[in-house]
Amino acid sequence: MFRVTRRYAFAASHRLHSPQLGDDENRRIYGKCNNPYGHGHNYLIDVSARGPADDATGLAVNLAALDDLVRREILQPFGHSNLNTDTDAFQGVVPTSENLAVEICRRLKRHWSAAFPGAWPKLEKIRIAETERNIFELGADEIE
C-alpha cells in the first residue's frame, strides 16, 4: 500500500472576522488577521491518497487525474480570490485555514469517484501550509 502526496499552490486573501462576535472580540481573537482590508497567503496544499500499485501501470495514483480534479475543484475557484467575497463556500463561514481544509476535503470527496472509478485510490488527508509556521492537517475520513 502506497501513500502518494501531491503538492499544489495558490494565492488567496481573506479576513478572519466572525459575524457572531463583536468587533473588539474579533480583534482580540484574530489580531492582525482581522484587518478590515484582509490579507493574503501563498497557500501550499498537499493532497494525499493511498492505494496499491496497479499491476498494469505500476502506479498507485493517476497523477494526471488528481491534477485535473484539484485544478477544477480547488485551484480555479480559490486561486487569486478573496475567500470571503469571491466564493460561496465562505458566505457566513470564517475562512480560517481549518475551514479551508474542510471545504477542500469536501470538494475532493464529492468528485473523487468520478476522477477515480473503482476501489482505489482513497483520499487520505489534506495538509495546508498557510505560512512556514502555520500548518493544518485534516484526515479525509473525518469529513462526510
Provide the pLDDT confidence category of residue 16 given band limits of 50, 70 and 90. Answer: very high
Beta strand extents in the chain (DSSP E only):
2-14, 39-51, 81-82, 122-129, 135-139
pLDDT at 102: 98
> Phi and psi for 18 in degrees, rounded to 5?
-100, 125
Q: Looking at the predicted structure, is the pLDDT value of residue 127 above 90? A: yes
User: Would you call 22 exposed, middle or buried from its count of C-beta atoms within 10 A (0-12, 13-18, 19+)?
Assistant: exposed
- Please give the average per-residue pLDDT across 108-123, as a whole number: 96
- Please give the average per-residue pLDDT across 113-128, as a whole number: 96
CATH code linked to domain 2-142 = 3.30.479.10
Q: At a CB cut-off of 8 Å and minimum separation 6, what does 3 contact?
A: 48, 49, 50, 124
Provide the pLDDT confidence category of residue 10 given band limits of 50, 70 and 90. Answer: very high
Provide the pLDDT confidence category of residue 144 given band limits of 50, 70 and 90. Answer: confident
Catalytic residues: 33, 80, 130
How many residues are present in the chain?
A: 144
pLDDT tens-digit map of 65-114: 999 999 999 999 999 999 999 999 999 999 999 999 999 999 999 999 99
pLDDT tens-digit map of 24-73: 999 999 999 999 999 999 999 999 999 999 999 999 999 999 999 999 99
Please give the C-alpha separations between residue 141 and each of 47, 96, 102, 104, 125, in angstroms, as whole numbers: 13, 20, 11, 13, 8
What average pLDDT does the chain have?
A: 97
pLDDT at 66: 98
